[in-house]
Amino acid sequence: MQYAKIPEERTRVLIGEGGKTKRYIEKKTKTKIEIEEELITIDGESNESASLHEWVAKDIVLAIGRGFNPAAAMKLLNENYMLAVIPLRDFAHTKKASVRIKGRIIGEGGRTRKFVEQTTGCYVSVYGKTVALIGIYDDVPIAKEAVVMLLEGSPHSSVYKFLERKRQEQLEDRRRAMSW
């Protein structure tokens, strides 16, 4: 059995229209999800794979709770995808500082967030007191490093160059692997 806590306003998104989203998660993960305000209980079937299914369902619930739409959260059904959550309290100690660093991650007109998403292939959600990422295992650490660089005050141009360099390195690695 797994437990998750999500903001009450996100439980409606988790449930979905007529319970559709919740039922879909339960069906795909072979779990039963119980919702009591902000506390979510996830219970798997009683077999060896139940624990893994519970963890996947928990990550999907947490992703929805961190502001992702259900379609993005469902990417976590693919074993090559992962969720990473970065707490902003580690970088901002006041509400004003929190708003400022959220703005750095989002960027003017959403430009920075969009650039991180396009160069890494990861989904980025800035919600509440966290920044969350969903993506392929190889890509999430790169996106996370870029976000942390922004949170620590690195210039946007340095972060963009870092992301472009990492993307180029990945492309070269893939080319080399295909030439074998």
Tell me what the pLDDT averaged over the chain comes to.
93
Cα 156 to Cα 57, 63, 151, distances in angstroms: 35, 26, 11
Instruction: Summarize pLDDT for 29-63 with one digit per residue, the tens.
Output: 999 999 998 899 999 876 666 678 899 999 999 99
Residue 73 neighbours by CB distance under 10 Å: 28
pLDDT attached to residue 93: 79
CA R_g for the chain: 18
pLDDT attached to residue 142: 97
CATH topology of domain 81-178: Ribosomal Protein S8; Chain: A, domain 1 (3.30.1370)
32 strand-pairing partners: 43
Pick the CATH number of 2-77 from 3.40.50.1000, 3.30.1370.10, 3.30.300.30, 3.40.50.720: 3.30.1370.10
CA–CA separation, 42 vs 48, rounded Å?
16
Domains in the chain: boundaries = 2-77, 81-178
Question: Structure pTM?
Answer: 0.91
Phi, psi of 112 (to 5 degrees): -70, -45
Three-state DSSP state, 154: coil
Contact indicator for 43, 32 with CB cutoff of 8 Å: yes
Instruction: Summarize pLDDT for 52-97 with one digit per residue, the tens.
Output: 889 999 999 999 999 999 999 999 999 999 999 999 988 887 888 8
Question: Do the domains 2-77 and 81-178 sit in the same CATH topology, yes or no?
Answer: yes
pLDDT attached to residue 145: 97
Q: Is the pLDDT of residue 17 over 80?
A: yes
